[in-house]
Structure 1
Amino acid sequence: MTPEGVEIRNPEKLYIAGAWVESTGTARFELVSPDTEEVVGVVADATAEDMDRAVAAAREAFDTGPWPQLSPAERGAAVLRWAEELEKRQGELCAAWTAQVGGLASFAPQMHGGAIATMKFIASLGSSFEFVVRRPSQMVDTALVVYEPVGVAACIAPWNAPFGILSSKAAYALVAGCTVVLKPSPETPLEAYIMAEAAEAAGIPAGVVNLVCGGRDASDHLVNNPGIDKVSFTGSTVAGRRIGEVCAGRVARCTLELGGKSAAIVRDDFPIEAAAQILGNTITVMSGQVCAMLSRAIVSKSRHDELAEAIAGVMKGVKIGPSTAPDTQLGPLAMKRQLERVEDYIRIGKQEGAELVTGGNRPSAMNKGYFMEPTLFANVDNTSRIAQEEIFGPVLALIPAEDEEDAIRIANESQFGLNSSVLTGDVDAAYRLGRRLRAGGFGQNGMRLEFGLPFGGFKQSGIGREGGVEGLHSFLESKTMLLDGMPAAL
């Protein structure tokens, strides 16, 4: 069973060693529409034994198969074919995202088209990246630094942007020469099924790409498997901590892209109405379910009340509706537990004494679906839970600051450090303040993200970087070779 507009041949099977196979268990994941609360799809729930089968297939393909021995250009060409097969199915990818998590249908083509374009860029690195570099040496005639694949990679994606994140991880891994086990979130497996079918159509050799969708215990078993050389994980900091501990225990490589509580500083030179438009509309992007979301806004005390009123005005004008409606600006949260999480934090904010300016309730006109009004808390204490913990919903905390120095202190007073922004018309001030913010990303005047450039966080927002050339490095090991001459092959 799959949602309307999504044609998957074997949703109740797994893709292992180039074949669609039955799970060793009988459990299934039901996919629930956040718009209607109805079941729209069913897929296989992989067991720990299934995880081991997938790792064994990827291990065999890496250790004895042709994939790591192909030239980087040949691997890049294969990844390009994979991207082209996925491009043919972009409509299905869009439909799957909307059906599973309520992503806006109006935004889906831009989002998924961008992800396919990113795959094509990654494929081009097979020809442009220097996998062998000659370095000066005082000891030998020829010193080379060569870059080789890290091995078998587990690519684990979250539910909010499943295709873009999983396809990027897998494309980098394959261009590097790794083989992969794709492990999507149980809430959003359909994009990974389409990826596996497209890999098969593109002629990716058996065992190079494997797909298993499993719950928490089976996923933990996958990470613990000694056949996994590298884990690339995007998700919560809690889960990332566990993966980091496991990988450290067996000295496996890992890249962790985790949570955030990113701050936007509004400088006094920036117009109130313009700031309200940016902040009030940004928090509704993907219903606030974005790790790099600007969920804290910091403004001088003298302008706080005026900005709070202006943001509330913007939020009250946001069109809430079904994810399939073309005029919807704010769709549902992805699942019931996420709605309940947001509601819990709204209660916590009230208990902590923050001022609920607008929102905080389910829309009264919508009696089905996981919908929540855009919500603004003002006069928020930065040490409070709603300012320090990731809510992952359309909830904005407005925090007053004494001056610019105090604003920087408040922005950096967080366990997270993923994204940041300064709203100002002064580019020099933006650069100066941006350099002082302890975060892996910075955008002047809004939540600006470009995945052709490195992306990742400071502090508990993660380890390592994805995107850009740096994304390829995370799937490579460097080897120093000291030779008496230049090899003929070079």
Structure 2
Amino acid sequence: MKYVHTKLFIGGFWVTPVSTEVNTVVGAATEEPIGQTPVAGPEDIDVAVAAARRGFVSWSQTAAADRADILDRFAAALISRADVIGPLVSSENGMPISLSVPANVYAPAATLSYYAGLVRKLEFEEDRPSLAKGVTKVRREPVGVVGAIVPWNYPLMLAMMKIAPALAAGCTVVLKPALETALDANELAAAAEEAGLPPGVLNIVPGSVAASQALVAHPGVDKIAFTGSTPVGRSIGEICGRLLKPVTLELGGKSAAIVLDDADLATTAAGLASASLANNGQTCYASTRILAPAHRYAETLEAVTSMVASLKVGDPLDPATRIGPVVTARQRESIERYIRSGRASGARLTTGGGRPADLNRGWYVEPTVFGDVLNSMPIAQEEIFGPVLSVIAYKDVEEAIALANDSEYGLAGSVWSADVDRANSVARWLQTGSVGINGYSLDIASPFGGYKASGLGRELGPEGLSAYLHLKSVYQPRQASQ
């Protein structure tokens, strides 16, 4: 195995864990071990939280400009590791290398730089005239110690969507990465160390469910930020609600792509390759429900089917690969159950539906399209988290909007049209936290999050920074006249 780690990054040092459990990371394309890490237990969470609390004392008092300088160095240290991080994440979770380097190196680095720039300009204290003709000082103060729990699909970007604004605000962080992608978390720790983050500012503890539970309920943690499934998010939200602990939850999605009747289908199908199938379909915002006008349904289904069938499936380290393996055998089994469900429900398989015949190793699933799908079918209502698309017919725009909103989720979506103004008018009616017009791409400077069962709160943009700041009003009465 190439990557063997025996220690955890806590308090600015690599320390021997209390837990003796070991995690073996298995390559998604090879089914062979590629590395090992310790598995943090509840006792290790205690050590990490204590280090973060100690670090908070000085970090919260560090000038914002000085914190920003360290974030910029952190960004540079990540970029210097691009040749290691990109292939490593691809090996861990099957993400095509053409996406892995931008998503796990340059986007996280850009996020650090964005919040460094934002915090340099932020007024942490301002005076406001009060109705009593005095002055109120409004202060922005860091929340404290943040527990960040992230999944395996975009491991470093999803971590940085929490780390960057938290550190910029003056908080310290205990990061609990997923065990499936625990190896790249060590590269993140090495970059933090190189950048000179003070001890305790960032602590990284890959662990099991027990570690996550300990972190969420820990009395020394002031806020939780979580990205993952809706069922787990509900559980975390219940705990935080009972403890009155602030929480940000970025959860599941079952996003719809509304193809309007004036859309150019060749262009739309090409755009859906990334909007619907990025990272092998293992993307929370993916537009996996394709809503097509009834009078153009056959040609839309044909265009989507042709596009999906043309995607190169193979080694995630090959720059030409568009669809790699999914992250684990368990994930593949879950996707295959949904494919069987689609067939049993009466949907029509137009491409894919099996395992690639020429790939006898790796957790591959052929990119799959179902036609004649009803919006009530499980494949149209439940998050599959794999390369499976459902094409659904609608009569008119009003029905398209109703179908798109007929979901417990509301994370994202897209509208495809030759008329951008018309597409925008449709987007306004969608019950979802973000909408792409003729494409879909996150904007670091804009808020991201969901409606309904897709979560609570927002990440990215200035709103993402506000989530890590408390507001304090100091009322100063009018001075008595002399």
Q: Out of 328-337 and 37-46, give the one that drifted further.
A: 328-337
Task: Choose which of 46, 49, 72 in structure 1 pairs with 2:64.
Answer: 72
Kindly indicate whether residue 37 of structure 2 is the aligned counterpart of residue 43 of structure 1. Answer: yes
SS in 2 for 1:455: coil
SS in 2 for 1:255: strand
Give a deviation string over 1:144-184, Cα, whole Å, max 9, x none.
21110111001111101111111231111111111110110
- The aligned residue for residue 61 of structure 1 is 55
Q: Would the aligned equivalents of 1:247 and 1:254 in 2 still touch at CA under 8 Å?
A: yes
Partners in 1 of 2:204 and 2:302 — Cα distance?
A: 49
Kindly indicate whether residue 80 of structure 2 is the aligned counterpart of residue 88 of structure 1. Answer: yes
- The aligned residue for residue 339 of structure 1 is 332
Report deviation, 1:484: 4.7
- The aligned residue for residue 459 of structure 1 is 452
Partners in 2 of 1:53 and 1:76 — Cα distance?
A: 27
Report deviation, 1:466: 0.6
- The aligned residue for residue 127 of structure 2 is 134
Q: TM-score, normalised by structure 2?
A: 0.96
Q: Would the aligned equivalents of 1:280 and 1:312 in 2 still touch at CA under 8 Å?
A: no
Report deviation, 1:226: 1.1
Structure 1 residues 62-461: aligned runs within 5 Å: 62=56, 65-111=57-103, 112-280=105-273, 282-461=275-454
Partners in 2 of 1:52 and 1:268 — Cα distance?
A: 57
Q: Out of 275-284 and 256-265, give the one that drifted further.
A: 275-284
- Over aligned residues, Cα RMSD in angstroms? 1.5
SS in 2 for 1:108: helix
Question: Structure 2 unaligned runs (5+)?
Answer: none
Cα 1:15–1:280 change in 2 (3 A) is closer
- Structure 1 letter corresponding to 2:236: I
Partners in 2 of 1:310 and 1:21 — Cα distance?
A: 54
Kindly indicate whether residue 9 of structure 2 is the aligned counterpart of residue 15 of structure 1. Answer: yes
Partners in 1 of 2:339 and 2:123 — Cα distance?
A: 51
Partners in 2 of 1:183 and 1:174 — Cα distance?
A: 16
Q: Would the aligned equivalents of 2:259 and 2:292 in 1 still touch at CA under 8 Å?
A: yes
Kindly indicate whether residue 474 of structure 2 is the aligned counterpart of residue 481 of structure 1. Answer: yes
SS in 1 for 2:85: helix
Cα 1:120–1:281 change in 2 (3 A) is closer
Partners in 2 of 1:22 and 1:146 — Cα distance?
A: 40
Give a deviation string over 1:342-361, Cα, whole Å, max 9, x none.
10100111111111111111
Report deviation, 1:199: 1.9
Partners in 2 of 1:220 and 1:188 — Cα distance?
A: 19
Partners in 2 of 1:368 and 1:130 — Cα distance?
A: 55
SS in 1 for 2:179: coil
Q: TM-score, normalised by structure 1?
A: 0.95
Give a deviation string over 1:287-319, Cα, whole Å, max 9, x none.
011101000011121211221122111222111
Q: Would the aligned equivalents of 1:417 and 1:458 in 2 still touch at CA under 8 Å?
A: yes
Q: Would the aligned equivalents of 1:140 and 1:483 in 2 still touch at CA under 8 Å?
A: no
Cα 1:133–1:191 change in 2 (3 A) is farther
Partners in 2 of 1:327 and 1:175 — Cα distance?
A: 37
Partners in 1 of 2:268 and 2:55 — Cα distance?
A: 52
Report deviation, 1:282: 3.8
- Structure 1 letter corresponding to 2:164: A
Q: Would the aligned equivalents of 1:33 and 1:39 in 2 still touch at CA under 8 Å?
A: yes
Give a deviation string over 1:367-414, Cα, whole Å, max 9, x none.
110111111111111111111110011111111111111110000000
Partners in 1 of 2:133 and 2:51 — Cα distance?
A: 40
Q: Out of 132-141 and 433-442, give the one that drifted further.
A: 132-141
Q: Would the aligned equivalents of 2:25 and 2:183 in 1 still touch at CA under 8 Å?
A: no
Give a deviation string over 1:171-215, Cα, whole Å, max 9, x none.
111111111101101111123212222222222221111111101
Q: Would the aligned equivalents of 1:32 and 1:40 in 2 still touch at CA under 8 Å?
A: yes
Report deviation, 1:120: 0.8
Q: Out of 265-274 and 49-58, give the one that drifted further.
A: 265-274
Report deviation, 1:324: 1.1
Partners in 2 of 1:77 and 1:276 — Cα distance?
A: 43
Q: Would the aligned equivalents of 1:260 and 1:390 in 2 still touch at CA under 8 Å?
A: yes
Report deviation, 1:219: 1.1
Report deviation, 1:119: 1.1
Partners in 2 of 1:256 and 1:94 — Cα distance?
A: 26
Partners in 1 of 2:274 and 2:162 — Cα distance?
A: 29
Partners in 2 of 1:145 and 1:23 — Cα distance?
A: 42
- The aligned residue for residue 6 of structure 1 is none
- Structure 2 letter corresponding to 1:411: A
Report deviation, 1:461: 0.6
Q: State how many pairs are aligned.
A: 478
Report deviation, 1:41: 0.6
Question: Structure 1 unaligned runs (5+)?
Answer: 4-9
The share of aligned pairs that are identical, in percent, is: 43
Give a deviation string over 1:49-87, Cα, whole Å, max 9, x none.
11111111112222xx31111122221122222222222
